[in-house]
Structure 1
Amino acid sequence: MASSTKGNGSVRPIRRLGDPVLRTECDPVRAFDAALGRLVDDMFASMYAAEGVGLAANQIGVSLQVFVYDCNDDEGRRHIGHVINPVLVAADGDIVTDAEGCLSVPGLNFPTPRHAHAVVEGVDLDNKPVRVEGTGYFARCLQHETHHLRGGVYIDVLKGDTRREAMRAIRSADWS
């Protein structure tokens, strides 16, 4: 039942910070059917239309544990795929603070600390096990998307002056 994973979906609106679906832990996927394949296709279409590198299902209003990605690592290798019922099984290595943004917090980027290495395990559209490992920017993407599915947003990991700056910017954003 594997989907094309890109090109065939419908673009759905991206939910913005303030929408409760972004702050609620998503449910595990239990039905591996055609509707799930359409969701993944729609997620890719929505991510590409918004010019993102990753997208969690709750960002388009679907409270299921699914994310898609099309992201380069720090060596320039491109990684494209999806993970269903993902678990972040490793986030280790150096803490790297770099600019990070989010399609649900549009137009804002803040220095965000993330581990330099991450491993996510889950399943694919056919309920077959997958393990995705990333370093650098791709590791950042894997941590960011799995955090979304637990009801988190990247601003949650900001601290001190950076967090205060982010909160001020969000309060004055024209979409908030």
Structure 2
Amino acid sequence: MFNIIEPKDHHLFKTIVDFFSRFIIERDMLYYSFQDHKRATFIAIKNQSDSVLGGAILLKQRIGILHQRVGQHLSTLAPNNGEVWTCSLFLQGENHSLSQGESFCKLFYQQLVAFGMKEKIEFLCMILEQGEYFFTEIIGSWPYVFEVQPHESRDGLFHGILSLTINSSTLHKKKEESIFYKEIKLAA
């Protein structure tokens, strides 16, 4: 089950917002990118017993906060105000089988697509720890259109651009290019 928590509703979901806030604060590199998390929208993932399994933080930020290579790639695509939506994920080490993991990833991606439709955006700038990147790229085959791998970034995080407009029927097709590097131009 997914809950979308907008900034105006943080007080209604204090336990969940506090969970995400602690997660961000405890990770120095993520905290640098999401310091202003009080303005964030959260997507909480809960199991049947209502425990939080993880989720996403979505925050509109200036391009200057992004990894330099991502910012350069976006320079012609960003809106006139120079702000884009950034996103990071938090997963609580779920022990899904591969097929359950793929199904879960697809549902999670669909939540991000729905958010994109609501906000009228075609991509998210992702900032992920290695485990979350692995889950979305290898298990979920999410459609990243530009990537900076953790070993290529000073902060050890994955930085990338996630398309929210690629046809979902192609989402889980195996990619032929290397999992370590790819660069696909975003359609204008």
Global fold match (TM > 0.5) = no
TM-score in terms of structure 1 length: 0.27
What TM-score, normalized to structure 2? 0.26
Higher strand share: 1
Higher helix share goes to which structure? 2
Higher relative contact order structure (alpha carbons within 8 Å, sequence separation ≥ 6)? 1
